[in-house]
């Protein structure tokens, strides 16, 4: 049947759920849980899903859970994912529903992502205007880095136990107008790697530096040398980031320490650039240390891969957004960002699309203690997920 003749979810269909969604989001916000500790969040999600008639499987890759609803005789299967974890940040919003846990807050809006998917779950179970199978993937530990929730759920058989033809996910986006959608096919978010460097010198008395090998001097020199990697070793038309995020050495003015340690965050979109960054960082650390009489050990860890959206699934997701909010509310070619997401792992197994939903122009940045998810977009996200399912799962 022509989808334009079918009754498809509109924004207004979710307006009656706005109060429930906002209360749910604020409850999750008050009770944030760090990566690997999302027991209460998962329990709340599972209870709601079962109440609404979803089949729920718990404990997938930690606190992950999947809700499944099959309607009609359709053979297609779609997966929608939301992340559930919070961050080790002390909240400074001053909101009445601010985190009740000191040092833990939902500063990335995963409380909102989880709530939007719950909103769709309730609406889909009620309206059932599709034919096929929906899997709702509630994922833990997105913020964990190596060994994150997506990797664990996949290792726990996510795609074998809950087969799907495509998977979709979203992230709210501060700085993008409220409820505006942003899509991009191809590389959409960067790979994220980490280097931990230890510079070994020879400690001694600060007054007799000639008898020492000063690792702090090596570290200072290396920080500057690392700035040449992006500017001198990478094609200017490619994107790369090398940030020294931590530098530790010494504890007293009259002591030259034995060692200095550094931690780097490295971002890229291209496998060749990724390799070149590692090669140059290793070479510079080793050579700089040797140049001053010391040694370097480099522990280089490849993290989240490049997130690559498939073309057909991105075009489809974009089309559904334009139907829902009008083409003026859709940024059809949202530029890639140098942030990273473990949704990238799902896209290594299945085609799909990860996209942005505007959290408002004046929203604080993600991972900022003053950040808050914008409740105005809860019904938009829920209506969007519902309509995406209705459009995807047709006989």
**Residues lying near Ni ion in the complex (CB under 5 A):** 108
- Name the residue whose CB lies closest to Ni ion: 108
Q: Which is nearer to Ni ion, 172 or 212 (CB)?
A: 172
Q: How far is the CB of 142 from Ni ion (least distance, A)?
A: 6
Q: How far is the CB of 63 from Ni ion (least distance, A)?
A: 16
Q: Which is nearer to Ni ion, 17 or 108 (CB)?
A: 108
Q: How far is the CB of 384 from Ni ion (least distance, A)?
A: 18
Residue 236 burial by Cβ neighbours in a 10 Å radius (0-12, 13-18, 19+): exposed
Q: Which is nearer to Ni ion, 316 or 343 (CB)?
A: 343
Q: Which is nearer to Ni ion, 70 or 366 (CB)?
A: 366
User: What is d(CA 116, CA 340) in angstroms, rounded to the nearest whole number?
Assistant: 21
Q: How far is the CB of 86 from Ni ion (least distance, A)?
A: 10
Residue 113: count other Cβ atoms within 10 Å of its Cβ: 27
Contact 392, 386 (CB under 8 A): no
Q: Which is nearer to Ni ion, 143 or 270 (CB)?
A: 143
Q: Which is nearer to Ni ion, 130 or 168 (CB)?
A: 168
Q: How far is the CB of 230 from Ni ion (least distance, A)?
A: 25
Q: How far is the CB of 108 from Ni ion (least distance, A)?
A: 3
Q: How far is the CB of 153 from Ni ion (least distance, A)?
A: 16
Q: How far is the CB of 140 from Ni ion (least distance, A)?
A: 13
Round to the nearest angstrom and report the end-to-end CA distance of the chain.
Answer: 8
Long-range CB contacts (< 8 A, 24+ apart) of 277-283? 277/193, 277/229, 277/233, 277/234, 277/240, 277/242, 278/193, 278/195, 280/229, 280/233, 281/195, 281/226, 281/229, 281/242
Q: Which is nearer to Ni ion, 39 or 365 (CB)?
A: 365
Contact 172, 113 (CB under 8 A): yes
Q: Which is nearer to Ni ion, 288 or 359 (CB)?
A: 359
Q: Which is nearer to Ni ion, 152 or 387 (CB)?
A: 152
Q: How far is the CB of 172 from Ni ion (least distance, A)?
A: 8
């Amino acid at each position: 049947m022509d989808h334009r003749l079918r009754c498809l979810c509109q924004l207004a269909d979710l307006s009656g759920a706005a109060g429930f969604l906002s209360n749910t989001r604020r409850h999750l916000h008050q009770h944030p849980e760090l990566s690997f500790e999302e027991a209460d969040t998962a329990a709340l999600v599972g209870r709601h899903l079962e109440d609404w008639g979803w089949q729920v499987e718990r404990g997938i890759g930690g606190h992950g859970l999947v809700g499944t609803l099959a309607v009609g005789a359709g053979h297609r299967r779609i997966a929608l994912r939301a992340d559930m974890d919070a961050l080790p940040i002390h909240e400074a919003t001053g909101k009445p529903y601010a985190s009740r846990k000191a040092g833990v807050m939902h500063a990335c809006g995963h409380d909102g992502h989880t709530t939007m998917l719950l909103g769709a779950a309730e609406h889909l179970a009620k309206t059932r205007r599709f034919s096929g199978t929906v899997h709702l993937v509630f994922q833990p530990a997105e913020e964990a880095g190596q060994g994150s929730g997506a990797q664990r759920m996949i290792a726990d058989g996510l795609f074998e136990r809950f087969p799907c033809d495509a998977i979709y996910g979203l992230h709210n986006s501060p700085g993008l107008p409220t409820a505006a959608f942003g899509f991009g096919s191809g590389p959409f978010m960067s790979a994220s790697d980490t280097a931990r460097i230890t510079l070994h010198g020879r400690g001694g008395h600060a007054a007799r530096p000639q008898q020492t090998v000063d690792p702090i001097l090596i570290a200072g020199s290396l920080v500057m040398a690392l700035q040449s990697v992006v500017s001198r070793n990478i094609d200017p038309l490619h994107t790369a980031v090398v940030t020294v995020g931590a530098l530790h050495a010494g504890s007293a003015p009259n002591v030259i320490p034995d060692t200095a340690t550094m931690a780097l965050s490295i971002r890229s979109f291209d496998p060749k650039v990724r390799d070149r960054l590692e090669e140059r960082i290793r070479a510079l650390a080793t050579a700089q240390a040797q140049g001053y009489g010391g040694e370097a050990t480099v522990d280089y860890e490849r993290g989240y891969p490049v997130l690559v959206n498939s073309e057909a699934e991105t075009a489809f997701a974009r089309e559904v957004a334009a139907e829902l909010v009008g083409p003026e509310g859709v940024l059809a070619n949202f530029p890639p960002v140098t942030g990273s997401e473990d949704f990238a792992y799902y896209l290594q197994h299945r085609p799909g699309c990860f996209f942005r939903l505007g959290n408002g122009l004046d929203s604080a940045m993600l991972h900022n203690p003053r950040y808050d998810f914008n409740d105005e977009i809860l019904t938009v996200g829920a209506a969007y997920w519902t309509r995406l399912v209705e459009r995807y799962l047709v006989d």
